[in-house]
Structure 1
Amino acid sequence: MKNFFFPDRAHSRWLILLIDQMIVVWTLFISIVLTNTLNYTDVFNSGNAVYVALYCFIAAGVFISLRIHTGIIRYSNTEDILRVFLAVFVTSLLFVSVNKILSQRFQLLWHQMDKALILNFFISSSLLILMRILVKGVFLFFKELKSETKENILIYGSEKKAILIKKAIEQNGDSDLNIIGFIDDNRDRVDKYLEQKKVYHSCSVALLKEKHNIKKILFAEDALNTLNKKKIIDICVNEGIKVIMVPPSDKWLYGKLDSHQLRDLKIEDLLEREPIKLNKKNILKDLSGKCILVTGAAGSIGSEIVRQALQYSPKSVILCDQAETPLHDLKLELEDNFQDANVKIFMANVQNLNRIRTLFELYKPEIVFHAAAYKHVPMMENNPAEAILTNVLGTKNMADISMEFGVEKFVMISTDKAVKPTNVMGASKRLAEIYIQSLNSPEIISTGEITTQASRTRFVTTRFGNVLGSNGSVIPRFKSQIEKRGPITVTDPEITRYFMTIPEAVQLVMEAGAMGKGGEIYLFDMGKPVKIVDLALNMIKLAGLTPYVDVDIVFTGLRPGEKLYEELLLIDEEIIPTHHPKIKISQKVAYNYLYVNQIIKDLIVLNNDGNDLNMVKKMKEIIPDYISNNSRFEELDLLVAN
């Protein structure tokens, strides 16, 4: 029966118009009868038939003009009801006006129908609205019967965005979701009804789960502030309710919410972070119309720098990397998403000075984002020679060539592991920082090693912690281990890290790069440090599983070079605030270029000898606070100290 009255395809709008006009005609006759004291003989005559026909003709025009017949009745709302009232009211006014004009021009007898029209307004509009309410009610009745086989869900919020989600789900005939109600902490809305659904307080989630077997709650991605987000998500995660994120309505396909657009909550969504506000005018001024070079462009940070840089209308963007397949994949992505962009691919290893020189001669970049680096701590602990060649010599090559070709700005991407390093990777990045800072010292010009033109290059360093979702991040590994039902491997129960998402890290890189005058190390507000074991626990819960029951967690011990806690600031560095609340400047530490340049040359000579111990010993002599941890190089600390 439901399929007969409510087929998946809506009934013809002309059928709706016909039904509306039938109601209009009969209600007008009824009104005339009632206002004529039920005297049928005075009502059913040719004169009144003309007036009814004229009224029906005007009503049809008004209803078509106001598109009353185009709405799907089963989804009627308050706006549709108001439009029905307006249509009947406008029809009555037009009928009176037209009737008077005709009676005056053609000397037709004007029947006093004021009382009938007033009565008809209330009867006609009431029946038209009642018809819509009855149709919607019957539809909801059949829907409730069918919903017993659907999955019960809740929607977070009770504002416009939450209501839009509810309507989108209900209008999707293929949806297998049944909405129980809304969740909101707004006391003015709790225990009230919106769109026939009750608004519950967040403390009711556990009871609703038991009563209705709730397994999912839907969130609008752009409708959460930090405090409420953390509170309600914590409740859901602890109750084993899956959190589903709904994209903003302007991203729905063809204006409709598709089930494929719904996504599970990511661990990145749990970061306690307010949206980053950028000075886009400053960034636009810095990048617009410029030739931009990104090294390490195929990596997670480098590729995001490319994506964001392309949004600021650069003249061209050069993608430099030695990783062939990831670079090719990025090229295909950019061709799909930035079809009009001028993107150039240049494969090169930053260790190869001649190849880098060819790049600069060919494209003459004006802005350089240097993201190319080896970053995996245990890998570099076992291969220190490569860490030095790429992270130190590679950075030196890029910086020297940038000065030689008069690059306007050079932005280096560093890491919190460069602060009080306990591993080769962190120490190599600290050496790179030192070299970059030394290039802003005044004695460079007098050395004769570079031209006076090089003094125009401003060198800026950005330093931040771990990036969620980056290549080599714990997130992909934990996901893989959870899919296999564990165990999840964590090095130590106390190990903590600072985390950012890739987009927000790069946004801050762009902002810091734009404001940099030269010589600064910019530090980013990483929020609160996160215990890796807590990260693992949350990921298990987000997967709808129970920690230590469905998925175990085992502790494997710190890996070579790892430390429990990361820092962003050296002892001899002081913080200077900037106009951006999430960006601070490390007080400049003066480094003599001649000295730094010579020690790096000495280090490269040792590196070429192939003796890891001698090379790492030299690094420890250069960086006094480089103390190895859980590493084969710990024995060198005593030698250096003595």
Structure 2
Amino acid sequence: MHRPVLDGIEAASSGTRSKTSHVISRLLTLRGLALLHDGLMGAAALLLSFALRLDITGFSANVWSFVAAAALFGCVVSTTGFFLGLNRGIWRYASLSDFLAIAGVATASIAIFSVLEFLVNRLNSIPRSSILIAWAFTIVLLAGPRAVYRAYRNQHDVRRGKVAKGSAKNVLLIGATDNAEAFIRTNNERQRASFQVLAILDERGRRTGRAIRGVPVVGPLEKLPQILERFEARGRRVESIILTRSRDEYQQYAKLEELVDVAAQHKIELLTLPNMLDMKSIDAEIELRPIKLEDLLQRAPVGSDTQKIAAMIGGLNVMITGAGGSIGSELARQVADLAPLNLVLVDANEYALYCIKSELSQKHPASRIHAVLCNVREREAISSVVEAHAPNLIFHAAALKHVPMVEAQPIEGIFTNVIGTRNVADAALRWNVSKMIMVSTDKAVNPANVMGATKRMAEMYCQAMDLAQATLSTRFMTVRFGNVLGSAGSVVPLFEQQIKAGGPLTVTHPEIVRFFMTIPEACMLVLQAAAAHEPDIIHERGRIFVLDMGSPVKIADLAKNLIRLSGRRPDVDIQIAYTGLRPGEKLYEELFDCNEKLSETGSPGILAASARSIERAVIERIFDEMQRMIDDLNVEGALRLLQSTVPEFTPGSEIQATMSSARSLRQ
């Protein structure tokens, strides 16, 4: 190796050693000074106790013996503080825990000193009552300098940060909580405060007129508009409102919609605070999160049996079809967290599959995650995948679900949703998969579009397989739920794009309603349904598990809330335009058919429907015929067979026109 290179390495090594030794030297110096301080304060405390206990004559007559006792006590305090770690504390951040440690050191030191004095001269050389006085003085003299230093540093940081004060955001806190106190304390102790907390509002008004760390609690939530106007009149406009409670707590004390409305009217951003008590460092960045649409659903979170789910997944091979989609990818995330033996991700979309595989591989580098590019339409291909990876569980989430698109191309929807489901189910049965769970939709109930009808037909196939296999090992389960916020094809991303463009937001009908759930909630309940129900009793097979979606939400209200969350006002800053129902669209969706028999499952958030089923031999003949229709591109025949299999399906005008057009072409 060249000499210049060696010289450089040696210089760098020498610099590192020098820096390390400097840090160690500084640390030892600071800890040594802290020990010296504690010893001197201990000695001073005992001398003060003697002076307070005795008159001048009595004190001066035994001054040297008192000085010797004080020196001994100072050594005891310093040594005790060393062993109890008192000198390791950082004075700048001295707090209640340090005060408790000081009280412990003072108590232990007094006890040790009393024993030593008793062994030496039976406590005859000092007034015995002075020991108790010395204990109090020790606490005061050890804690006082620390408190003074902390106050000085805080004031010093405020003076240094005055340049940044002008750039600090003026904020209001909602909620006189422990989290609010921690936020104010952390913000004040930073060298450059990011926020200027003007006031706190208490939702229940019980702490109005009081203060938290000097910040006044100015009133209840009802007075928020007046308080905002008052600060603006003083030239201190509020830029952000920060919620200090969790979403679930706000359901008890406040209506988030009202807060969002007030914030939108005053063009103020509405943010939520993380749990400040979980922050590891004062200098860590405080990550405030904007209020999201799911926060406004006002749904109580559904509990889940995580132990049962983990027992179902842990150490087994799990396969997910449609793993690149919204539901499939979230299922993959939640399954990967539960340590499966192998996780097989199947999708026909190369880029979507690559994305979810990369994400999970980075998060779980030790896990065995396989990405398989395969279309569920390909019967032999999907069978080969199941044979090669031998999954114990299959979650079938692959589907075409965009209603107008499937309405315009019904053969594509039937091929993927109907035939694709049969291919996966047959492969599961052929290769002895323990359980297959199909993800369905509320659009399968009294379907008014091809997408819903195809999903109902897929449900019927899984029902027939489950009922026919009562004595065999493979279970076929169906889980049905409504819309999920933020999924591919959801109305929410469209609304967000329209808001960015300045509007208008397009809603099909002012009275249209839908059930909504967040993607993680829906996927957790799918796992819950799969884990909690493994009956082998014949009358419990073939049931469809339905997720409790809460109350339906008006799409128009959804649009208004999204506008408010963007800091603008509905029908003032951004308009809402009603465009009319799209082909195959209903005003409302249903989770159950009126003819379906409902039953409790014992799991919160999950119900069971005993829907009409068809014998396996019959449904297999129907599916064989459907496959022939698809192979012949016989759109009319496929739609007629779909309608006869799902008699509650009421085709829209576009599908009727498609059938008529196909009939004319064939003639």
Is TM > 0.5 for Structure 1 vs Structure 2?
yes
The residue that corresponds to 1:42 in the other structure is 60
TM-score (normalizing by structure 2): 0.83
The residue that corresponds to 1:97 in the other structure is 115
Residue 94 of structure 1, CA deviation: 2.3
DSSP 3-state at the match of 2:337: helix
What value does the CA root-mean-square deviation take over the aligned residues? 3.3
DSSP 3-state at the match of 2:412: helix
Distance of 2:158 and 2:228 partners within structure 1: 19
The residue that corresponds to 2:133 in the other structure is 119
**Out of 542, 546, 559, which is 1:523 matched to?**
546
**Out of 380, 384, 400, which is 2:426 matched to?**
400
The residue that corresponds to 2:574 in the other structure is 551
The residue that corresponds to 2:16 in the other structure is none
State the AA in 2 paired with 1:482: I
The residue that corresponds to 2:500 in the other structure is 483
State the AA in 1 paired with 2:330: E
Distance of 2:34 and 2:207 partners within structure 1: 36
DSSP 3-state at the match of 1:631: helix
**Out of 192, 206, 217, which is 2:225 matched to?**
206
Residue 296 of structure 1, CA deviation: 0.5
User: Are the equivalent residues in 2 in contact too, given 1:36–1:43 (CA < 8 A)?
Assistant: no
1:409-558 alignment runs, 5 A limit: 409-442=435-468, 455-514=472-531, 515-517=533-535, 518-558=541-581
User: Are the equivalent residues in 2 in contact too, given 1:559–1:630 (CA < 8 A)?
Assistant: no
User: Are the equivalent residues in 2 in contact too, given 1:230–1:270 (CA < 8 A)?
Assistant: no
Higher mean C-alpha deviation, range 577-586 or range 132-141? 132-141
State the AA in 2 paired with 1:425: M
DSSP 3-state at the match of 1:633: helix
User: Are the equivalent residues in 2 in contact too, given 1:497–1:566 (CA < 8 A)?
Assistant: yes
User: Are the equivalent residues in 2 in contact too, given 1:613–1:633 (CA < 8 A)?
Assistant: no
Distance of 2:490 and 2:283 partners within structure 1: 32
Residue 46 of structure 1, CA deviation: 3.9
State the AA in 1 paired with 2:493: P
The residue that corresponds to 1:324 in the other structure is 350
DSSP 3-state at the match of 2:255: helix
Cα 1:30–1:221 change in 2 (3 A) is: closer
**Out of 224, 244, 248, which is 2:248 matched to?**
224
**Out of 393, 410, 413, which is 1:384 matched to?**
410
Distance of 2:174 and 2:299 partners within structure 1: 19
User: Are the equivalent residues in 1 in contact too, given 2:77–2:109 (CA < 8 A)?
Assistant: yes
**Out of 319, 332, 337, which is 1:306 matched to?**
332
Residue 482 of structure 1, CA deviation: 2.3
Percent identical among aligned pairs is 31
What whole-Å deviation, never above 9, does each CA across 1:133-172 have from its counterpart, x for those lacking one?
A: 4445555556677485322334454554444444443444
User: Are the equivalent residues in 2 in contact too, given 1:218–1:245 (CA < 8 A)?
Assistant: yes
Distance of 2:615 and 2:308 partners within structure 1: 31
User: Are the equivalent residues in 1 in contact too, given 2:392–2:435 (CA < 8 A)?
Assistant: yes
User: Are the equivalent residues in 2 in contact too, given 1:233–1:243 (CA < 8 A)?
Assistant: no
DSSP 3-state at the match of 2:71: helix
Cα 1:205–1:126 change in 2 (3 A) is: farther
User: Are the equivalent residues in 1 in contact too, given 2:600–2:607 (CA < 8 A)?
Assistant: yes
Cα 1:604–1:634 change in 2 (3 A) is: same
Distance of 1:622 and 1:127 partners within structure 2: 88
What whole-Å deviation, never above 9, does each CA across 1:437-480 have from its counterpart, x for those lacking one?
A: 122344x89xxxxxxx9x43211111000111212222222222
- The answer on 1:245 being equivalent to 2:264 is no
User: Are the equivalent residues in 2 in contact too, given 1:161–1:223 (CA < 8 A)?
Assistant: no
Distance of 1:69 and 1:137 partners within structure 2: 19
Distance of 2:490 and 2:223 partners within structure 1: 36
The residue that corresponds to 1:626 in the other structure is 649
Cα 1:237–1:136 change in 2 (3 A) is: farther
Residue 398 of structure 1, CA deviation: 1.0
- The answer on 1:179 being equivalent to 2:197 is yes
TM-score (normalizing by structure 1): 0.86
Cα 1:483–1:230 change in 2 (3 A) is: farther
1:70-219 alignment runs, 5 A limit: 70-103=88-121, 110-138=124-152, 146=162, 149=166, 150-180=168-198, 182-185=200-203, 191-199=209-217, 201-210=220-229, 211=231, 213-219=237-243
**Out of 70, 75, 82, which is 1:57 matched to?**
75
Distance of 1:532 and 1:257 partners within structure 2: 42
State the AA in 1 paired with 2:252: N
Distance of 1:498 and 1:59 partners within structure 2: 67
Distance of 1:19 and 1:555 partners within structure 2: 76
1:558-597 alignment runs, 5 A limit: 558-597=581-620
Cα 1:280–1:287 change in 2 (3 A) is: same
What whole-Å deviation, never above 9, does each CA across 1:71-122 have from its counterpart, x for those lacking one?
A: 4445433333333333333333322222332347xxxx95224344433433
User: Are the equivalent residues in 2 in contact too, given 1:562–1:630 (CA < 8 A)?
Assistant: no
User: Are the equivalent residues in 1 in contact too, given 2:263–2:270 (CA < 8 A)?
Assistant: no
What whole-Å deviation, never above 9, does each CA across 1:381-401 have from its counterpart, x for those lacking one?
A: 111111011000101111112
DSSP 3-state at the match of 1:626: coil
The residue that corresponds to 2:394 in the other structure is 368
The answer for unaligned runs of 5 or more in structure 1 is 1-8, 446-452
Cα 1:43–1:465 change in 2 (3 A) is: farther
The residue that corresponds to 2:20 in the other structure is none
Distance of 1:257 and 1:433 partners within structure 2: 54
User: Are the equivalent residues in 1 in contact too, given 2:39–2:75 (CA < 8 A)?
Assistant: no
Residue 321 of structure 1, CA deviation: 0.7
State the AA in 1 paired with 2:436: F
The residue that corresponds to 2:538 in the other structure is none
User: Are the equivalent residues in 1 in contact too, given 2:203–2:220 (CA < 8 A)?
Assistant: yes
DSSP 3-state at the match of 1:579: coil
State the AA in 2 paired with 1:435: Y
Residue 379 of structure 1, CA deviation: 1.1
Distance of 1:186 and 1:14 partners within structure 2: 51
Higher mean C-alpha deviation, range 298-307 or range 618-627? 618-627
Higher mean C-alpha deviation, range 32-41 or range 505-514? 32-41
User: Are the equivalent residues in 2 in contact too, given 1:558–1:630 (CA < 8 A)?
Assistant: no
What whole-Å deviation, never above 9, does each CA across 1:412-433 have from its counterpart, x for those lacking one?
A: 0000111111111111111111
Residue 338 of structure 1, CA deviation: 1.5
Residue 59 of structure 1, CA deviation: 1.7
Distance of 2:377 and 2:79 partners within structure 1: 77
What whole-Å deviation, never above 9, does each CA across 1:467-515 have from its counterpart, x for those lacking one?
A: 1121222222222222333332222222211111111111111111121
Higher mean C-alpha deviation, range 507-516 or range 497-506? 507-516
The residue that corresponds to 2:4 in the other structure is none
